[in-house]
Structure 1
Amino acid sequence: MSTTVEEALLGRRSCRAFRPDPVPRAQVERILDLAARSASNSNSQPWQVHVLTGAAKRALSADLLCAYDEGRRAAGEFAYQPGADQWLEPFRTRRRRFGEGLYRDALGLGPEDTEGRRDHHRRNYEFFGAPVGMILTVSKLPLQGALVDAGLFLQALMLAARGAGLHTCAQASLLDFHPVLRRHVRIPDDHVVVCGIALGYADEEHRLSTHRTTREPVSAFATFYDSADTKTRVTA
């Protein structure tokens, strides 16, 4: 359990193996209540969250797995990330490094093991065994700003979950099957799906429990300016 923001940030990870232990509804509501404290443009709060547990989550997962196995991917409602072959550097390299770290190093699945990799990918649609599955949506109307607001809400949700001793995994993979999601939850017509979220207790016995991704150092993405002449005087 995390007691400070720093501990929550350092302890947060994309958990891909959960225990089936149920999470009390009151605890889920508390996490959502805390996440709702997130900043949003003009306090518009454009997000909605659809929470599935029990039979409702099992029914959605079964439908998602069927759609995945039959190759029924749908065109995106909107494009907020490039296709798999459209990432530019340095993001292409980082994405490839992530995939190698997950499939090859953590799971022991080489590039030739297409069946093993497919089996692991299928687990996305079961929310990696988590007892709680969520679908995060935002309004289309202020879409660009709403996506920023959704990111703030999502981060707050994940940190609040760590504060409660829980783990999460944000799942963009569900975007490919947004028509399936709409059959199971009441997503308003003026909303688009941002991602799915798995929530629960991490399975610390699973081989993925020790898997961690790296982060770029501050020097790689931050530039400090200490003079009015910002074009020539920079503090590295």
Structure 2
Amino acid sequence: MPATDKQGADIGVTEALHRRRSVRAFTDRAVDPALLRDIFNAAQRAPSGGNLQPWQAVVLTGAPWQAVKDAVAGRIAMGREGYQPEYDIYPKGLVDPWESRRFGVGEALYGALEIPREDKKARLAQFMDNYRGFGAPVMLFLHCSRIMGPPQWADMGMWMQSVMLLLVEAGLASCPQECWAMYGETVRKTLGLDDGQILFSGLAIGYADATQPVNQWPVPRVGIDEAIEWQGF
């Protein structure tokens, strides 16, 4: 399954990490379901506390994927009354340095698209593209039992990261999308999930449209000395 770069060398973990980004413009090229099955089989090696493997997912394309988009569009049209948040995506009262990072990456995104702050209509249109999966032909919805706690949510994150890196290895792209949890009940009902499940995130999957500026702007990361404290070295 490993993809190769232009020189024919296998893409390793380090290269996959560097290449992975949240893609916000996909081509309409179909994704081979056999390839996805291989990726998900490999991702099952992701770690989990007590080997609970709490992650569960629904993978959609075609009419079922369109049905979710249509259902959520109906809730969005209701304005704030349509919100059905499964959880707080960001902590209430977020302060620096985290708030500055969040604000900064948003401004960098709109800057890459040359959408000024005063152009509210264009910014809203770009935001709404979240709920079309940025044109991705495949959407994965990740969920788990409501009895699971923070450690198991961490397990789900490790599984999703494993999937994203394997997608890069296979020449595919993705965008993790917690925004779907803002309309969790509608998504769950459309997918046929009962209230005992909680929606964690979507994951848009497809082939990146490399011509689009939204897929080209640099996304900053803090240096390790800001994130890591060394002791005993």
Same fold by TM-score greater than 0.5: yes
- Opposite residue 11 of structure 1, the aligned amino acid is R
2:172 paired residue among 166, 169, 173: 166
Residue of structure 1 in register with 2:197 after alignment: 191
User: Which stretch shows the higher mean deviation, 94-103 or 56-65?
Assistant: 56-65
Does residue 1:144 correspond to 2:161, yes or no? no
- Opposite residue 32 of structure 1, the aligned amino acid is F
1:100 paired residue among 93, 103, 107: 107
- Opposite residue 71 of structure 2, the aligned amino acid is D
Could you list the per-position Cα deviations for residues 147-201 of structure 1 after superposition, in whole angstroms to 9, with x for gaps in the alignment? 1101101110100100100010000111111121022112243221111110000
CA distance in 2, matches of 1:65, 1:123: 11
1:88 paired residue among 95, 109, 116: 95
Provide closer, same or farther for how the CA distance between residues 30 and 140 of structure 1 changes in structure 2, counting only shifts above 3 A. Answer: same
TM-score by length of 1: 0.90
Residue of structure 2 in register with 1:24 after alignment: 32
- Opposite residue 169 of structure 1, the aligned amino acid is C
Please say if residues 84 and 185 of structure 2, whose CA atoms lie closer than 8 Å, have aligned partners that are also in contact: no
| Cα displacement (A) at 1:29 | 1.3
1:1-236 pair list within 5 angstroms: 1=3, 3-71=11-79, 72-79=81-88, 81-83=90-92, 86-103=93-110, 105-226=111-232
- Opposite residue 36 of structure 1, the aligned amino acid is Q
CA distance in 2, matches of 1:69, 1:52: 23
CA distance in 2, matches of 1:97, 1:132: 29
CA distance in 1, matches of 2:174, 2:62: 18
Any idea what SS the aligned residue of 1:16 has?
coil
Percent identical residues: 31
- Opposite residue 42 of structure 1, the aligned amino acid is G
| Cα displacement (A) at 1:111 | 1.4
Unaligned runs of 5+ in 2: 5-10
Any idea what SS the aligned residue of 2:94 has?
coil
| Cα displacement (A) at 1:80 | 5.3
Please say if residues 138 and 205 of structure 2, whose CA atoms lie closer than 8 Å, have aligned partners that are also in contact: yes
Please say if residues 167 and 202 of structure 1, whose CA atoms lie closer than 8 Å, have aligned partners that are also in contact: yes
Could you list the per-position Cα deviations for residues 61-109 of structure 1 after superposition, in whole angstroms to 9, with x for gaps in the alignment? 12222322321443423335325xx211110100010110001x11111
CA distance in 2, matches of 1:188, 1:38: 26
CA distance in 2, matches of 1:59, 1:189: 19
Please say if residues 65 and 122 of structure 1, whose CA atoms lie closer than 8 Å, have aligned partners that are also in contact: no
Please say if residues 35 and 153 of structure 1, whose CA atoms lie closer than 8 Å, have aligned partners that are also in contact: yes
- Opposite residue 6 of structure 1, the aligned amino acid is T
Any idea what SS the aligned residue of 1:159 has?
helix
- Opposite residue 207 of structure 1, the aligned amino acid is P
TM-score by length of 2: 0.91
CA distance in 2, matches of 1:40, 1:165: 27
Please say if residues 74 and 179 of structure 1, whose CA atoms lie closer than 8 Å, have aligned partners that are also in contact: no
Unaligned runs of 5+ in 1: 227-234
Any idea what SS the aligned residue of 1:135 has?
strand
